[in-house]
Amino acid sequence: MKYFILFGPPGAGKGTHAAPLVKKYNLLHISTGELLRREIAAGTELGRQAAALIEKGELVPDVVVEGMIANTFAANPHVAGFLLDGFPRTVQQAMDLDEMLESRDESVTGVISLMISDEEIHKRIRGRALVEGRADDASDEIISNRIRTYHAKTEPLIEIYREKGIYNEVDGMGSIEEVQGRVFDTVDKLI
């Protein structure tokens, strides 16, 4: 089983490149936001726990999200692998993912990191706000905070995955087709 992490700052194109990766390599896309919505709609125990927290305006703890991810791994033995998007975002989540996979005698196959500059992040997120009408993308202050959070909490994962020899940086600049070609070339080398 293959386990890929699609990594990068907000606006790097993770959502854009996930669908072609899933299709080409027979991967199951695991987006933490989608997982939460699906579990809540299905009325599972984890979904009920998540819904109760969300209704109170609280964040869903890592243990609940990680339980959903573990359930998804177990319920889908027919795919060639998984594409994790939005997880892990912190060093603790990366350690938890390693433990989860070790319990299955597996490990992360590769990290595909779409890299763009902070200036490009601002440009893309502002553009996305106009096209998709996303209020959370419209404020420069919110965009700047998301970038700071990425640098402080998520970017440290780069060094961890570099040390493991599974970090693969992809230039996220250029046309969708150009970047997609680079992403496919990277995954081809990992399979």
What per-residue confidence (pLDDT) applies to 57? 66
Residue 107: both structure tokens together: 């490990």
Pairing state between β 167-171 and 2-7: unpaired
What per-residue confidence (pLDDT) applies to 143? 82
The distance in angstroms from the start CA to the end CA of the chain is 10
Give the start-to-end residue ranges of the domains of the chain: 2-182
What per-residue confidence (pLDDT) applies to 136? 57
What per-residue confidence (pLDDT) applies to 127? 80
- Please give the biggest Cα pair distance in the chain: 45
What per-residue confidence (pLDDT) applies to 114? 96
**In the CATH scheme, what is the homologous superfamily, with its name and number, of domain 2-182?**
P-loop containing nucleotide triphosphate hydrolases (3.40.50.300)
Residue-level pLDDT, tens digit, the chain, 191 residues: 999 999 999 889 998 999 999 999 999 999 887 888 888 889 988 888 888 877 776 767 888 889 889 989 999 999 999 999 989 988 999 999 999 999 999 999 999 999 999 999 888 888 876 777 666 566 788 788 888 888 998 899 999 999 999 999 999 999 999 999 999 999 999 98
Beta bridge partners of 171: 115
Task: Give the single-character DSSP code of 130.
Answer: H
- The 10 Å CB-count burial string (b at 16+, else e) for 10-47 is bbbbbeebbeebbeebebbbbbbeebbeebbeeeeebb
What per-residue confidence (pLDDT) applies to 34? 82
What per-residue confidence (pLDDT) applies to 108? 97
Residue 160: both structure tokens together: 């961890």
Q: How many CB atoms lie within 10 A of CB 68?
A: 22
Q: Which amino acid is at 188?
A: D
Residue 150: both structure tokens together: 């990425």
